Amino acid sequence: MKLSWNFPKGFYRDKPFICKDCGAVEIWKAWQQKWWYEQRQGDPDSTAVRCRACRIRERERKTEARHEYFHSETKQHRFL
Ligand SMILES: [Zn+2]
């Protein structure tokens, strides 16, 4: 018997896409789409744009930016 996935909001399937940062071809897996739309309540029009490596890099960049912002804030407050 073939194992079939029964998704409540339609059927997801593996979807290839090209990373907008490095141009690598990545597969957006069906289970990742399900997770994104149903668990994370992602925008139904949104889709994967970055490969795994670039996503990690982007996340680190954002974390770094927040870190710097925090430190510039505390530096200002020290003089108040
Ligand atoms: Zn990439």
The answer to whether position 8 is within a domain reads no
Among 6-10, 27-31, 74-78, the range of highest mean pLDDT: 27-31
Residue 53 neighbours by CB under 8 Å, 6+ apart: 22, 24
Dist CA 53 CA 58 (whole Å): 9
| In 1-80, beta strands by DSSP E | 15-18, 25-28
Name the nearest CA neighbour of 33 among 21, 43, 19.
43
**Around Cβ 28, how many Cβ atoms within 10 Å?**
18
The answer to whether position 1 is within a domain reads no
The answer to whether position 67 is within a domain reads yes
Domain tally for the chain?
Answer: 1
State if pTM tops 0.75: no
- Domain range enclosing 28: 15-77
With 80 as the cut, is the pLDDT of residue 8 above it?
A: no
CA of 19 from ligand 1 middle (Å) equals: 5
The answer to whether position 44 is within a domain reads yes
CA of 51 from ligand 1 middle (Å) equals: 4
The answer to whether position 7 is within a domain reads no
Residues with C-beta atoms within 5 A of ion ligand 1? 19, 21-22, 24, 51, 54
For the chain, the average pLDDT equals 82
CA of 3 from ligand 1 middle (Å) equals: 32
The answer to whether position 2 is within a domain reads no
Q: What does the block give as tokens for 2?
A: 């073939």
